[in-house]
Structure 1
Amino acid sequence: MTLDLQHAAQRRMRRAVIILVVLVLVLVAALVVIAVRGDDSGSNKPAAAAPKESTTAGPTPVPTLPPDEEDYVAPAKYVALPDGAERAGDLPVKFPHTPEGAAAMAVASSRNAWSFDPAKLKAGILTYSTATYRDAMATSAENGAKGNREFAGVPATGPIPPGAALNAWPIGVKWTVKGADTVNAMVLLRVTSVSKEGAEPKTTLVVVPGRAVWESGDWKGVPTDPMPLPDPADIGTSKFNEDGWLAIQEGNRL
């Protein structure tokens, strides 16, 4: 996405920050719980990653971002994330042994997590999860798909309604190096969902935490401990820069 397209999208989009008062099975390499805080009182309780457990509930929109009239603010910093040297099916693998490589793995796995298809979620878990959690997490793929359906307003069971869709676009990333083989990363995503044909699309900003460890020649993910998460900030806003997000540039895409 070019800056012009980002600018246009930022102006026409109804952005909202949500609180997920729930555990939704997603993937930042293994199992990550999406915890997006937006509490007026400031007493936020981020969700914790918990193997084999997943409950779902409807998200509550909390409009906290600047109105569309605010002038577009270009990202202060970009990061060109490396590609994986190989692929496992449709998923990139074999990332460089660098912090950028760890971030690239986190971005790839979090992007793959937003799907109605449990087979796709399971493939991502098996590809990106550390061996310690891989098998246990893979058994929860069905719950993850169910959580994604409920997030998008799609019935939890039965055929996907015509026109229903769920897509995630990673727009920002930041990380903290904990050692040569451990990197904590946060991925900022713009998630768009449509519950059925003719329904109005819903766009949500989500911050997903993850931890990458170097294992068997590649970065793999482990469930993260509970941690305070920043309020999401859309690209093109001053808060995006103030919060230290790096705008993602992958190949020829921004």
Structure 2
Amino acid sequence: MTLDLQTRAQRRMRRAIFVLGGIVLVLVAALVVIAVTGGSSTTAAPDPKPSGSAGPSATPTARPNNGGYVAPNETVKLPDGAAKSATGNLPVQFPHTPEGAAAMAVASVRNAWSLEPAQVRAGILAYSSSQYRDQMATAAEDGARGNRQYAKITPDTGPLPAGATLNAWPIGVKFTAVNSNTVDVLVLLRVTHAAREGADPVTNLVVSPGRAVWEGGDWKGTPTDPGQPLPDPVDIGTPFFNEDKWLAIQEGDRL
């Protein structure tokens, strides 16, 4: 499917912002508790539609677009990691630059949308700051369960139903260097899921905030303020993508 066709298809799908309080998307509740209490409390799996401030919310916010495809004004080729993680075979050891921090955040976000606890845990071990890593890793099963609930997959544990899918495609990024060792990053992505074989896929637009810190010779993620204001999610190929100054993520020959 071409990007233009994808763009038109997105307009017919439900658009939502899934506001998340930390660098590892599926562990919202854990991150919020860690950020507020230092990790002394236990957490439950994040609810796809919780009440209160302890988890994500889904609200239709994407602006309508009745025009044709609009090419991104700006693109960024994020650097590759120089090595792979010991578990999960994930890219690590990114350059000590703002672009390297953004690349880590994008890799973390992409991996976090997984239905498998082992993959969620691998992402936590690869990308989380040591201050939070162990506490978050213990919640990996809850994170995968929360992802299944978000994708309306039943049951939310055990073998996956045939055709059940959850995929994240980062499409845009913004990053601001606080200093040489701290970079704030916003990742814009499409998250597509189907509960079972034959189910119509649903795509949401998501804005994910994170903070990258230079630690042990690599970029690692730390929790962000769950109350921070976030931009509305917008799709690539619309004028709003350019108006909101997103950088389109270029991967190989593909945007």
Q: Aligning the two structures, in what range does the TM-score lie when normalised by the shorter sequence?
A: 0.7 to 0.9
1:65 and 2:67 matched: no
1:18 and 2:13 matched: no
1:159 & 1:26 partners in 2: Cα distance?
27
Q: Indicate the residue corresponding to 2:54 in structure 1.
A: none
Deviations 1:82-122 (A, max 9, x none): 00011114200010000000000000000000011010000
Structure 2 letter corresponding to 1:200: D
Structure 2 letter corresponding to 1:236: G
The structural deviation recorded for 1:55 is 2.9
Q: Indicate the residue corresponding to 2:113 in structure 1.
A: 114
1:50 and 2:49 matched: no
1:75 and 2:58 matched: no
Q: How does 1:70-219 map to 2 (within 5 A)?
A: 70-88=67-85, 89-155=88-154, 156-219=156-219
The structural deviation recorded for 1:165 is 0.2
Asked if the contact 1:56/1:150 (under 8 Å) is kept, the reply is yes
The structural deviation recorded for 1:70 is 1.9
1:12 & 1:241 partners in 2: Cα distance?
20
Show structure 2 runs of 5+ residues with no match.
35-41, 50-56
Asked if the contact 2:23/2:222 (under 8 Å) is kept, the reply is no
Deviations 1:37-59 (A, max 9, x none): xxxxxxxxxx9733353431346
Q: Indicate the residue corresponding to 1:9 in structure 2.
A: 6
SS at match of 1:127: helix
Q: Structure 1 stretches (4+) deviating beyond 6 angstroms?
A: 23-26
Count of aligned pairs: 235
Q: Indicate the residue corresponding to 2:39 in structure 1.
A: none
Larger relative strand fraction: 1
SS at match of 2:32: coil
Structure 2 letter corresponding to 1:231: D
Asked if the contact 1:173/1:187 (under 8 Å) is kept, the reply is yes
Question: Equivalent pairs: percent with the same residue?
Answer: 57
Q: Indicate the residue corresponding to 2:224 in structure 1.
A: 224
2:164 & 2:235 partners in 1: Cα distance?
24
2:144 & 2:22 partners in 1: Cα distance?
8
Which stretch of the first structure deviates more once superposed, 117-126 or 80-89? 80-89
SS at match of 2:206: strand
Q: Indicate the residue corresponding to 2:239 in structure 1.
A: 238
Larger relative helix fraction: 2
The structural deviation recorded for 1:233 is 0.3
Show structure 1 runs of 5+ residues with no match.
35-46
1:64 & 1:253 partners in 2: Cα distance?
24
SS at match of 1:221: strand
Q: 24, 33, 46: which one pairs with 2:28? A: 33
Return closer, same or farther for 1:63/1:184 CA change in 2, 3 Å cut-off. Answer: closer
If the length of structure 2 is used for normalisation, what is the TM-score? 0.85
1:209 & 1:97 partners in 2: Cα distance?
20
SS at match of 1:137: helix
Asked if the contact 2:128/2:221 (under 8 Å) is kept, the reply is yes
Structure 2 letter corresponding to 1:50: V
SS at match of 1:16: coil
1:25 & 1:231 partners in 2: Cα distance?
17
Structure 1 letter corresponding to 2:150: F
Return closer, same or farther for 1:91/1:32 CA change in 2, 3 Å cut-off. Answer: same
Which stretch of the first structure deviates more once superposed, 91-100 or 10-19? 10-19
Return closer, same or farther for 1:81/1:198 CA change in 2, 3 Å cut-off. Answer: same
The structural deviation recorded for 1:17 is 2.7
Asked if the contact 2:80/2:94 (under 8 Å) is kept, the reply is yes
The structural deviation recorded for 1:151 is 0.7
